[in-house]
Structure 1
Amino acid sequence: MKTKLNGILTLLLALVVQVAFAQQTVTGKVTDPEGAPILGATVLVKGSSNATTTDFDGNYTISANSEDTLVFSFSGYDSVEKVVGNQTTINTTLSTSLDAVVVQAYRSASSATSNVAATTVSGEDTQDRPNASILQRLQGQVPGLIVQTGTGQPGANSTIQLRGASSINGNTEPLIIVDGVPVDEDTFRSFNPNDVESTTVLKDAAATAIYGNRGANGVIIITTKGGKFNSPLRISYNGTTSFSSFIERDYDLYDASGYLRLERRQNTGLGQSLTDAEIDNFTVSQSFQDYFFRTGVNQSHNLSLTSGGENSTQFTSLNYTNQEGTLINTGIQRFNFRTNITGKSENGKFRYSTNALMGYSKNESQTETTNGRNNFIYFSSIQAAFNARPYLDPADYRQDPASLLSYFNGIQLSPFVVIDNNLQNINRDDELKLILGGDFAYDLSDEFTLRYRLGVDYQNVIGIRANPPTSALSLIRGAGQLEGDQSESFLRDFRFNSNLNLGWEKRFGSGTEAQKKHRVLANAYVEYVKGELKSFNYNQNGLDPRTFAFGDGAGYLQDGGADDIYVPTVGSNKNTVGLFSYFGEVDYDYDEKYGFTGTLRRDASFRFTDDNAYGTFYSVAGRWNIHKEAFLADSDVVNNLKLRVSYGVTGNDRIAGGYYAGLSNIRQLFVTGTGYNDTQTFVRSNVLANPDLKWENVSTLNIGLEFGLFDNRLRGSLELYDRETTDLFFDTFVSGINGVYSTTANIGDLYNRGIELGANYDLIRAEKDGDFAMSVYANVAYNENEVTFVDLPDGRQDNTGSGTVIEIGRQISEYFVVPYIGVNPANGNLLFEDIDGNITENITAEDRRHTGTSFTPDFQGGFGTNLSFKNFFLSADFVYMTGIDRFDLQAADYLDPDNIGLYQVSSAFERAWTPDNRITDIPAINATNLAANGINTDRFLRESDFLRLRFLQFGYNLPQSLVEKSFINSARIYANAENLLTFTKWRGSDPERPSNIDQNRYPTSRIVSLGVDINF
């Protein structure tokens, strides 16, 4: 027996020794994406109770077998699993988890209990991009969200649309909120994109109805970065240098000799007097396009500091950005300072956060026009660059105003005037921006919390435009103008919002508090919003060259002569708006499996009168986490499957064309006349009141399915929606005796429907640091709309100026034109198809018909990939749109025979119809029906679909073994390219413009940049 016992003990001892020798000690460091250590992260041997936590420096030590898997986790971050193998050191970086928390309206919810349709984009996914606007960086990242710019001008605002247009004459842009403070899109001229932690786009009524009147078009919530409790001081620097060049257009144009020969054939211009030899030897040193456009050199420098103690945290950032435009004398400089502070009391009952942004920007711009070639060329470098006759040489410029205006037989529309304009004149806006926010919460008990939020958005803009008395433009006189003119404008926009909230949350059921399966949350709110915009401007005509200086306010000449009759003119505007609301929400959850949310809101808008000022809005939503059911509990395929359904009604009181058009509360000060004796000053409203005007109401049904499959390798969502807008704002004509010619009324209904699909797939996951990893993403959105009611004659509003129509049964702004057939071989005239299907040269307005297309896309979205291997990384993002048609009026200008001898024209005139060239696509230069009687045709209506490589990045992370020997935690270098490639049939500078026409616009830039990120 004793021998047997000794044998057993020996065997057990051998097993213990074997296990001991099989185990190994693993050490390492856990950091966040910026290289800062994470205190308190859990490191667990998967499938066991063997675990440890990281210390203050993020270090850990744990014993594990080679076949074990370590699980690294920390609240607010995605968990990471790594196989031990033969490694004794395993360092890990945890990425911020966007699925953990969904920011929705006035509160946040876990991904499991959220009932709303929302897409969140991490700040990591949009950082280091050369585009200076955080909103423009979202293009292609969010299904159903379109972010476009109408110009490539630095600092220009974007056009934003979510799930199609919910209004016709009302504002269609989403509400934008930064750290709880509602802001306008122009805020982002003074906003540092590197401060962004995440951007959440709320789409359905369950998410937006609680915003009432402001949520009809969706909501974009931007959350900026903050510190973390119990974390050491962390310093980060990001710097980039980029080079921008304008994207070339694809028109076939004449060179100098070809244009001169065309002029000689047409017996006009300089060419008519030159011989073949003189034309062959004619050269220019530089084109006007090369003169006015340049390679812009841009710089951005960001410095941030974060830290946190036991009861407080702080985040502070400084930014300087200098963005040169590709057009000379355009660009923007921006200075930013931000500080975010959070804290709590010792017992945690009182919590607070404050956010402050101070930004200053200086924006220099150039005039753009879509009105063709006209007197605006005096101010437009863009027109001069693209429309100047190719034999003109910028080197011939001389600073002699009289000679510039008489250049080439007295033709005043000379690109030399624009050179003079650029050298002498100024067009600048200086903007100061302040955004202040505070959030204060106190737990009255374990169940009740009282919270107060307030925010201030302040903007001050000073603009100056001046033509000195020595400039060529000073001699181009209109009524009451003398040599030189100057205007200054002053704008102050102040907005205040406050919100008081009482919240209640309680769990029900058996067991401990955490085991109780029923949770009920209720919130009651009172909100007040007030805004006031005040502007003042003055204009001076006639400047004394002896005393003139930009912005000094020097007036007219005072020499006792006739010029003394000219005095400055002034104008002012004052707009006010306000909103008072009370609302509430109830949210119920059962075991994170089933959920229900209901909201109800009552708004009183300052824009409407009497009972019409009030609107009631609501939403209901339900959720089923199907993967929580027993029949999917053991599934190896389904990790997450959530079904959501919501319905709600929101309102819109944001009337396009001004702040607030429901009441006659907008005043404008006018000064008329040019002399003391006949000057009359008066005040009138520039909005005619309509006491019957009321809210636009938007009803939305949304069905969503969220999924995570194959160990969450494949993640995404599918959304279907129906949205109806009733009581649409329409401008209706009234008699001019009222002082205005239109007023706004509710006379239309609109219907939108669509589908959105977005997915991410981890194609290859890295088993350990340095392994190859690859992920891909794609999203697509389809939207269609239909006007269902218009209370106008024939149920139609004919927009002849744009070739579009708003009509019952048709999509918004559908093209309504006469089909162009081609060129008549008999005489070179244009041929069209009339309403009866006949081929004709003569058309009327009755021959127009619907095309079934517009300038809004049917399909839009994006796709891309992220790859990493060793310390290298590569990212690529594509965006696309289909179903877009637009008028190419630039092509129309180039093919206008009346411009021969005046401006650049298309070299397609070489194949214009002649008696010897009867089969062609270009009409005769002397065709008799080129104007087509002023009727809109589809001759220049072009397809504008595109696929664009929006962003490409290649970079290298410095090895940890190298940076650990220095005073830095991590560093990386990278090269970026934006708008590198575009595949399209569109021949203009940018197929992505949010307009139905393209003509003489600032071209979009292609940007290449080099950058570095360093974390200390």
Structure 2
Amino acid sequence: MKRLKLLLVCLFTVVTCTVFAQGGTVRGTVTDASTGEPVAFASVQVKGTMSGAVTDLDGKYSIMVQSGISDITLVFSFVGYKTIEVAVNGRTIVDVSISPDTEVLEDVLVVAYGTAKKSSYSGSASMVRSESILQNPNSSFEKAMQGKVAGLQVTTSSGQPGATASFRIRGSGSLNASNEPLYVVDGIATSTAEYSVLADRNTSTSSILSTLNPQDIESVTVLKDAAAASLYGSRAANGVVIITTKNGSQGSGRLNVNAQLGVSMVPKYFELMNSAEYYQTVFTSYFNTRQKAGYAASDAAIWANQQTQGLITFNPYSVDNPYDASGQLVSGARIIVDTDWQKEVLKPSLTQDYNVSYSGGNDRVLYFFSGGYFDQEGTSPTARYTRYSGKVNVDANVKPWLKAGMNAMYSFSIQNTEVAGGAGASPLYNSLYFPSGVPIYMTDRNGNYILDKAGEKQFNWLNPVSKDFNPLAIPYMDTHKTKNYRLLASLYTEIKFMEGLTLKTVFSPDYINLYEILFWNKLHGNGPAYGGRSERHQTHDLMYTSTTTLNFNRTFGDVHNVQAMAGYEFWHSTREYALAQGTNFAFDFMTELAAATSALAPSSWTSEETLKSYIARAEYSYDNKYFISGSFRRDGSSVFGADNKWGNFFSVGGSWRIDQESFMQNVEWISSLKLRSSYGTSGNNLGLGRYQSLGIWAAGANYNYGPYPGFGHTQFANPNLGWEKQAMFNVGLDFGFFDNRLYGTVEFFNKTSKDLLYQFPLPSSHGITSIMMNLAKVRNHGVELELGADIIKTGDWLWSANFNISSSRDKILDLAGNDDVVMSTTKKIWKVGYSQYEFYMPTWMGVDPANGSPLWKKDNGTTSEFALADYEMQGRATPWAYGGLTTALKWKNLSLSMMFYYNLGGKVYDGLYAGLMHDGADAGKNLHKDALDAWLPGNTNTNVPIYINSNPNTANSESTRFLYDATYFKFKNLNISYTLPKKWMIRTGIISDVKIYANIENIFTCFKDDWKGYDDIDIYGIGGYTQYAETMPLSRTFTFGVNVAF
């Protein structure tokens, strides 16, 4: 009997072992390592198989395995957490804790043609992640970068939705070519050319980068020195901005929905005269002039009233002659028209942004899909930007030795561009200069509206500023629309030959298609002279990049790491343009060209550009302490001269992790300490015409002003024309103290740019005024400091802060023998030894108390004639320092962040204010309230000259009268958010996360000087100069949103 029992026990044991060898069940719970809370919807997979499971709302999982439990390894992953692998070792219950992936992400930089560890990187690069970008809701990521990176200046030249923001990385290194950096999207060097004819016509901008949905961006890396950027060779002199979009990560499919609604308004207006103030100012001038001519006061008053009403084109008072012979307002006179044109034209607007994404994957396939809709109204009547976008990203491990993937982004956008320049056609211009006494709608003598046959109000078309224009009507009658179709894609394969040796090939098409509609109606504005006019502009740009690289990465003897890359890249662009236009439209409601009875001459052109490149990079590290690196690129460009098409660019760099030395091990308060330095060269070919090096002949109908067609020489060839060259030295110290609670970077750089593109003047006998040559030379040098701190990091509280400051100076070293080049349009001077942004204008000396005449500096005295005034250098537009401060406070699920930006020093010329202080030179235009302090016989102690209608004194000409210190401090952004507790989400059974948030952008700005203009100096650009109403003011925006994850 005992033998039978023993036999049964042995048989049961064998059967049991066999069953477990064939399969079994493993259970467990996945929790957050930092909070201890369960992690719902985490992915659990058996390594090397397709078998997997997903945790439930309590973080629990159960997974069937087909092989022996003792042999398997489970892979645990979830979005935002580190992926871990756990060997089962025969267990049936496996509980794990997973940690947030923050630390790993912070140590990885996306750099040229790959990634690098920040702890060992010898170049200068800064990364801004999506969380920081999305705290500033905008049509494009560019505006959200202001104040986030040391050495990066971001200026937004217009409040037009979809407008371009300008980047300057470590100053400006070019005089005539572009100073914008190279933009690289997911490894594709993309174009930032100003394609829009319409935006250029309307003195506005249209950013091609606005076609990228900021919600799809994972990070933006700014490469600042040669070691970081020179691998992009002839296009990297101005720095490189690498945009990395989101992709899939291991874990079960995750659906994310984000919706936000914003309200924008202009935070500050110019203080303009109201109807009564303007009438009195103009009347007083006419009245005094008439009396000086010997007329009686009563006659002078009647004449002055008539002249004032004739100038305004309307009598805003309830009586015919509101001012009497004593120059006082008569009894019973009241204002019946007082239009605040600024507030009528610039009104609150709405912004909507909706995005959906779905992502996930396993160890075989990762995927990310998204779709977005963005709609931003401008604060001016018809300005608007609408974008529909989509993104698909798939990465697959096809075989153990083969990877493949594709990434595609498509967008369709519509931009209605408000006319900013062009005087009368611009609603912005008219909102400043229309007198308040001009009504919006036609009114009778008592101020009552004159209705049409349908009982509707009729627009008033009479005004002293812009004949036959009304800024609240014309924008709806004319059309200024740009439709942009954009496809940006990349397909890649990566072959693994052996451990550490791979071959990667990437093909990337980039297609841009702009269709622009311009229409001027036949009834009012600019159209009646043509019987109505329409233009259709079509621009195509098909670019493609093919890149093949061989990559090597091996570690020898545990201490020697060698990384190398060699490759070939080919880039080509074919750009096509066509114009069709017509006039004399039979019906105003028909805007298609088929309705035009007169066709104007069409136009078209095609241009091509090619860039071939050989690239190489090598890095060596010893014991994770000492690092050296080098890179080389050889570029051949079709743009440059026949004798100078190829250029070589290189960089060398090294870094030393001092904290890893044995003598530092007992210094507990130093967590990290790294010294790094680099030197390298790069080039600049941005902003140069594709055929600038060639001799060009142009055909004309009247050759040499004669009656016969022929060809004329319009450009001389320059076979030696090449790219601008730059050499940069950089040294930096990265540090972290007290367990990296306090960390930062301090850097010094010096870059010299030579062979700058320069229009060299030619004698008039040549028949051509100048030729483009490589002649000039400039230098930029400066220092940068970045500091970060986790001030409080205990329990439920987290308080962090980040601060950066940058200071740089530019100096012109050579101008090809021309010591002084006056830039009359921007009131600057190029002079050897000085900044290229040096203001050059007369010095304002105030007002002559004897007669109210304006005074400017002349020799050692003054002059009241502007033409005789001395021109002097008045200081540079660029600041001596600038930077940002960001602070974030978190308590449990409640977060608050604030961002500040500051600008120290520099000058800015306020041409808008100057236009409003015309002292009567622009009779009929409205005035700033400061003009109420104009010189009068009873008001001689003033800095505002006498007001004279049709004043010949030109007192508002460009001088230091309107030149201000550009120092300011801006409270740029405030964001508050609350994430609903996990336990609430678990109860729903569907939703995993919900975050609600509110955001305020452009809260307020404090200026050092008595700034008169809009609440943002940025619209004046890097050069700090603007004239008239050439740009739409920036807005203050209140945004409310919700993010839901399923």
Instruction: Name the CA distance, whole Å, in 2 between partners of 1:156 and 1:951.
Output: 20
Q: CA deviation at 1:992?
A: 1.5
Most deviating of 756-765 and 32-41 = 32-41
Conserved 8 A contact 2:345-2:471: no
Residue of structure 1 equivalent to 2:248: 227
Instruction: Name the CA distance, whole Å, in 2 between partners of 1:685 and 1:531.
Output: 27
Instruction: Name the CA distance, whole Å, in 2 between partners of 1:941 and 1:35.
Output: 59
Does residue 183 of structure 1 match 2:190? yes
Amino acid at match of 2:420: E
Instruction: Name the CA distance, whole Å, in 2 between partners of 1:888 and 1:92.
Output: 53
Q: What TM-score do you get using the length of structure 1 for normalisation?
A: 0.85
Residue of structure 2 equivalent to 1:119: 126
Q: CA deviation at 1:359?
A: 0.1
Matches within 5 A, 1:156-195: 156-185=163-192, 186-195=207-216
Residue of structure 2 equivalent to 1:345: 398
Q: Deviations over 1:513-550 (max 9, x none)?
A: xxx2101122111111111211111222222228x622
Q: CA deviation at 1:447?
A: 4.1
C-alpha distance 1003-617 of structure 1, shift in aligned 2 (>3 A): same
Instruction: Name the CA distance, whole Å, in 2 between partners of 1:134 and 1:605.
Output: 30
Instruction: Name the CA distance, whole Å, in 1 between partners of 2:149 and 2:462.
Output: 53
Q: Deviations over 1:621-653 (max 9, x none)?
A: 001001000111232211111111000011112
C-alpha distance 904-936 of structure 1, shift in aligned 2 (>3 A): closer
Most deviating of 294-303 and 531-540 = 531-540
Conserved 8 A contact 1:30-1:59: no
Residue of structure 2 equivalent to 1:335: 388
* Equivalent residue in structure 1 for 2:1017, among 985, 991, 997: 991
Q: Deviations over 1:867-905 (max 9, x none)?
A: 111221101011111223122111211111235651111
Residue of structure 2 equivalent to 1:15: none
Q: CA deviation at 1:213?
A: 0.4
SS in 1 for 2:794: coil
Residue of structure 1 equivalent to 2:412: 360
Q: CA deviation at 1:739?
A: 8.0
Residue of structure 2 equivalent to 1:788: 813
Q: Deviations over 1:905-941 (max 9, x none)?
A: 1233332222332221111224999656998521211
Instruction: Name the CA distance, whole Å, in 2 between partners of 1:519 and 1:882.
Output: 45
Residue of structure 2 equivalent to 1:697: 725
Q: Deviations over 1:817-875 (max 9, x none)?
A: 221111111222222223x4333334667822222x22222211100211111221101
Amino acid at match of 1:320: Y
SS in 1 for 2:585: coil
Amino acid at match of 1:357: M
C-alpha distance 569-669 of structure 1, shift in aligned 2 (>3 A): farther
Does residue 444 of structure 1 match 2:503? no
Instruction: Name the CA distance, whole Å, in 1 between partners of 2:353 and 2:273.
Output: 40
Residue of structure 2 equivalent to 1:563: none
Instruction: Name the CA distance, whole Å, in 2 between partners of 1:487 and 1:35.
Output: 59
Q: What TM-score do you get using the length of structure 2 for normalisation?
A: 0.82
Amino acid at match of 1:492: H
Instruction: Name the CA distance, whole Å, in 2 between partners of 1:391 and 1:907.
Output: 15
SS in 1 for 2:102: coil
Residue of structure 2 equivalent to 1:238: 258
Conserved 8 A contact 1:30-1:37: no
Matches within 5 A, 1:763-842: 763-767=791-795, 771-793=796-818, 795-834=819-858, 836-842=859-865
Conserved 8 A contact 1:520-1:588: yes
Instruction: Name the CA distance, whole Å, in 2 between partners of 1:810 and 1:845.
Output: 25
Instruction: Name the CA distance, whole Å, in 2 between partners of 1:322 and 1:712.
Output: 42
Instruction: Name the CA distance, whole Å, in 2 between partners of 1:294 and 1:121.
Output: 33
Q: CA deviation at 1:257?
A: 1.1
SS in 1 for 2:138: coil
SS in 2 for 1:898: coil
Conserved 8 A contact 1:648-1:700: yes
SS in 1 for 2:747: strand
* Equivalent residue in structure 2 for 1:871, among 893, 898, 921: 893
Q: CA deviation at 1:278?
A: 8.1
Conserved 8 A contact 1:30-1:94: no
* Equivalent residue in structure 2 for 1:394, among 411, 434, 440: 440
Matches within 5 A, 1:115-514: 115-185=122-192, 186-229=207-250, 231-249=251-269, 251-267=270-286, 268-270=307-309, 274-275=321-322, 276-277=329-330, 280-284=333-337, 286-347=339-400, 349-369=401-421, 376-396=422-442, 407=462, 411=464, 413-414=466-467, 416-475=469-528, 477=529, 482-509=530-557
Conserved 8 A contact 1:896-1:905: yes
Instruction: Name the CA distance, whole Å, in 2 between partners of 1:716 and 1:845.
Output: 53
Does residue 923 of structure 1 match 2:971? no
C-alpha distance 664-530 of structure 1, shift in aligned 2 (>3 A): farther
Amino acid at match of 1:621: G
* Equivalent residue in structure 2 for 1:601, among 633, 652, 671: 633
C-alpha distance 55-572 of structure 1, shift in aligned 2 (>3 A): closer
Q: CA deviation at 1:310?
A: 2.7
Residue of structure 2 equivalent to 1:525: 567
Residue of structure 2 equivalent to 1:561: none
Amino acid at match of 1:386: L
Unaligned residue ranges in structure 2 (runs of 5+): 1-27, 46-51, 62-75, 85-94, 193-206, 287-306, 323-328, 444-449, 453-457
Q: Deviations over 1:769-790 (max 9, x none)?
A: xx12111111011010100111
Conserved 8 A contact 1:655-1:729: no
Conserved 8 A contact 1:830-1:927: no
Amino acid at match of 1:756: E
C-alpha distance 798-390 of structure 1, shift in aligned 2 (>3 A): same
C-alpha distance 36-545 of structure 1, shift in aligned 2 (>3 A): farther
C-alpha distance 35-941 of structure 1, shift in aligned 2 (>3 A): farther
Instruction: Name the CA distance, whole Å, in 1 between partners of 2:957 and 2:827.
Output: 9
Instruction: Name the CA distance, whole Å, in 2 between partners of 1:431 and 1:164.
Output: 31
* Equivalent residue in structure 2 for 1:976, among 975, 989, 999: 999
Instruction: Name the CA distance, whole Å, in 2 between partners of 1:844 and 1:459.
Output: 49
Unaligned residue ranges in structure 1 (runs of 5+): 1-24, 42-52, 63-71, 81-87, 370-375, 510-515, 557-565
Conserved 8 A contact 1:175-1:220: yes
Conserved 8 A contact 2:274-2:340: no
Instruction: Name the CA distance, whole Å, in 1 between partners of 2:43 and 2:29.
Output: 18
Amino acid at match of 2:475: N
SS in 2 for 1:607: coil
Amino acid at match of 1:797: V
SS in 1 for 2:282: helix
Most deviating of 284-293 and 198-207 = 284-293
Q: CA deviation at 1:503?
A: 2.0
Does residue 733 of structure 1 match 2:747? no
Residue of structure 2 equivalent to 1:19: none
Instruction: Name the CA distance, whole Å, in 2 between partners of 1:118 and 1:34.
Output: 37
Amino acid at match of 2:545: N
Conserved 8 A contact 2:750-2:780: yes
**Equivalent pairs, count:** 919
Residue of structure 2 equivalent to 1:545: 587
SS in 2 for 1:553: helix
Q: Deviations over 1:6-64 (max 9, x none)?
A: xxxxxxxxxxxxxxxxxxx99734699998755579xxxxxxxxxxx9985697799xx
Instruction: Name the CA distance, whole Å, in 2 between partners of 1:1005 and 1:690.
Output: 47
SS in 2 for 1:199: strand
Q: CA deviation at 1:474?
A: 2.7
C-alpha distance 687-977 of structure 1, shift in aligned 2 (>3 A): farther
Identity %: 26
SS in 1 for 2:106: coil
Q: Deviations over 1:153-179 (max 9, x none)?
A: 001111111000011111111111111
Amino acid at match of 1:604: G
SS in 1 for 2:441: helix
Q: CA deviation at 1:128?
A: 4.4
Q: CA deviation at 1:309?
A: 2.5
